[in-house]
Amino acid sequence: MDKYKPLIGISVGDPAGIGPEITAKALSLPEIYDLCRPLVVAEAEMMKEAIRFANLDLEVQTVSSPKEGFYQFGTIDLLDLKNIAGRIIKHKVISADMGKASFEYVKKVIKLAMAKEIDATVTGPISKEAINLAGFHYSGHTEIYADLTKTKDYAMMLMHNDFRVIHVSTHVSLREACDRVKKDRIYRNLWF
């Protein structure tokens, strides 16, 4: 029955931020494993440190592909990209190294989804400043997904239960957001 649960690729976000800890805490909940098969895309040593920091009773199992995961509560299945050494992570510090790593996590889950090796993606919080320092000039996840999937017409939707909101603008100044509120733009977003 487990093989019919969706396989979810989780990019943890900025290694120097709260994403690894949030991911570890989320995967310490047994009900997550009742719903899906989570695969973390990150660095093994970083996730082990997040588990220690959060004082959680979890193990990390590294895999080289999604099909190798066990997806059982108590063990985090992790695709280790080995982008950064755990010892160079300076928490709460914005850097190009952390920006590159977080971009690579997002890029990898998108690639896995496009290859149909996973069913969906979840993203942890990134530092847009760090990603830009690393040379990836995006204003957020939405634009990264659009670019890497070659999607021209896209929108960001926020959801809670039956309530859904699609932004008319994303990641721009308030002045520019106001300027973008045009009838045709609103109509276009209504069709998503």
List, for residues 140-158, the tens digit of each pLDDT value: 899 999 999 999 988 888 8
| pTM of the model as a whole | 0.89
Q: Cα(36)–Cα(54) distance, rounded to whole angstroms? A: 23
What range does the domain containing 14 cover? Answer: 2-152
Supply the pLDDT for residue 169: 80
Domain identity same for 116 and 140:
yes
Total domains, the chain:
2
Domain identity same for 141 and 76:
yes
The least confident of 21-25, 39-43, 50-54, 137-141 is: 137-141
Q: Is the pLDDT of residue 64 over 80?
A: yes
Instruction: Using the structure block, give the residue that is written with the tokens 């991911």.
Output: 23
Structure tokens at 43: 């660095």
Domain identity same for 85 and 145:
yes
Q: Cα(159)–Cα(137) distance, rounded to whole angstroms? A: 27
3-state secondary structure of 63: strand
Euclidean distance between the first and the last CA atom of the chain, given in angstroms as a whole number: 33
The phi and psi torsions of 163 (rounded to 5 degrees) equal: -90, 130
Q: Is the pLDDT of residue 128 over 70?
A: yes
The mean pLDDT value of the chain amounts to 92
For residue 97, the domain's CATH number is 3.40.718.10
Domain identity same for 48 and 96:
yes
The pairing of strands 37-42 and 7-11 is parallel
Q: Cα(103)–Cα(94) distance, rounded to whole angstroms? A: 14
Domain identity same for 81 and 159:
no
Half-sphere exposure of 9 (CA within 13 A, CB side): 27
Domain identity same for 134 and 81:
yes
Domain identity same for 162 and 113:
no
The pairing of strands 37-42 and 59-63 is unpaired
Domain identity same for 145 and 184:
no
Domain identity same for 64 and 82:
yes
Look at residues 1, 83, 13, 70 and name the one whose alpha carbon lies nearest to residue 39.
70
